[in-house]
């Protein structure tokens, strides 16, 4: 089947924001006496769903305190990300997809406020936005990607997913999607299941694959 849609994660996929989230998380955790580091962030936080992370790493917080912590953490992230730029090659991919009538969906564990903020900064509009916080389960559960495919009316064979975290790759692959992993925050070996690992969207191997599956081709 010809390619009909591109499905994207947000942080670490459209822009290299993982280090900004890490800074915001580590600052916030330090205020609660938890001296975390890069390894802790990568293994305990990256790619997770915010409320679940708080319940796991700050179990002594009440629900209201957890919500306040997350609001402050995300406000700090937006402050750090004020000058965020798209990953190299994303604009080229966007134009390529538009010229071929490919639909584009955002599938993210990010809170809606952050998703809106990031898309405004990056100047991107999607045909569909699916956020895990509005579903019964988030990544690494495949539900967010299955939801996107259902709303697009497509089977997984007609779409390509882009992810950057182990939980995101697990979700996309679990939904039956061919998945490209961005190595902005994790080493390739941590992103098992992806058929291609790239540093950004200028990668020649990505473009060779896209040309081989070009819906405008013969």
Report the C-alpha gap between 106 and 116 in whole angstroms.
Answer: 11
> Are residues 130 and 74 part of one domain?
no
pLDDT of residue 47: 80
CATH number assigned to the domain comprising residue 154: 3.40.50.1000
Which residue, of 60, 80, 100, is where some domain finishes?
A: 80
**pLDDT reading at 217 higher than 80:** no
Is residue 134 a part of any domain in this protein? yes
Q: Is the same domain home to 24 and 10?
A: no
Q: What is the pLDDT of residues 87-145, one digit of tens each?
A: 999 999 999 999 999 999 999 999 999 999 999 999 999 999 999 999 999 999 999 99
Residue at 218 is within a domain: no
Residue 60 is predicted with a pLDDT of 95
Last residue of a domain, one of 39, 55, 80: 80
pLDDT score at 49: 86
- Count up the domains in the chain and report the number: 2
User: What would the pLDDT profile of 50-79 be if each residue is shown by its tens digit?
Assistant: 999 999 999 999 999 999 999 999 999 999
- Same domain, yes or no, for 22 and 39? yes
Are 114 and 72 in the same domain?
no
59 & 136 share domain: no
In the set 9, 18, 141, 203, the catalytic residue is 9
Told to judge if 11 belongs to the known catalytic residues of this protein, a careful annotator would answer yes
Residues 181, 133 share a domain: yes
Residues 43 and 138 in one domain: no
Is 59 found in the same domain as 101?
A: no
What global pTM score does this model have? Answer: 0.89
* Catalytic residue flag (residue 18): no
Q: Answer yes or no: is pLDDT of 156 > 70.
A: yes
Can you give the residue range of the structural domain that contains 199? 5-17+85-212
Q: Choose the final residue of a domain: 63, 80, 97.
A: 80
Average pLDDT score over residue span 138-161 = 97
Q: Does the structure show a pLDDT above 70 at 218?
A: no
Q: Which of 11, 16, 18, 164 is catalytic?
A: 11
Looking at residue 160, its pLDDT comes to 98
pLDDT score of 95: 96
Residue 8 — very low, low, confident or very high, per pLDDT cuts 50/70/90? Answer: very high
Looking at residue 162, its pLDDT comes to 98
Question: What mean pLDDT value characterizes the chain?
Answer: 94
């Amino acid at each position: 089947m010809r390619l009909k849609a591109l499905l994207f994660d947000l942080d670490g996929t459209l822009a290299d924001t993982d280090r900004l989230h890490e800074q915001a998380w580590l600052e916030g955790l330090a205020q609660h006496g938890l001296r975390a580091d890069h390894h802790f962030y990568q293994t305990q936080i990256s790619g997770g769903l915010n409320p679940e992370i708080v319940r796991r790493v700050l179990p002594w917080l009440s629900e209201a305190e957890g919500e306040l912590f997350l609001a402050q953490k995300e406000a700090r992230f937006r402050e750090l990300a004020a000058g965020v730029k798209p990953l190299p090659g994303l604009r080229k991919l966007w134009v390529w997809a538009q010229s071929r009538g490919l639909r584009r969906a955002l599938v993210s564990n990010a809170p809606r406020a952050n998703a809106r903020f990031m898309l405004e900064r990056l100047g991107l509009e999607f045909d569909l936005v699916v956020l895990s916080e509005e579903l019964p389960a988030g990544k690494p559960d495949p539900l967010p990607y299955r939801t996107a495919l259902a709303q697009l009316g497509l089977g997984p064979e007609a779409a390509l997913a882009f992810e950057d975290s182990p939980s995101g790759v697990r979700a996309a692959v679990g939904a039956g999607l061919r998945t490209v992993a961005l190595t902005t925050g994790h080493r390739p070996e941590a992103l098992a299941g992806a058929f291609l690992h790239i540093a950004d969207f200028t990668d020649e191997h990505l473009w060779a694959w896209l040309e081989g599956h070009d819906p405008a081709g013969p």
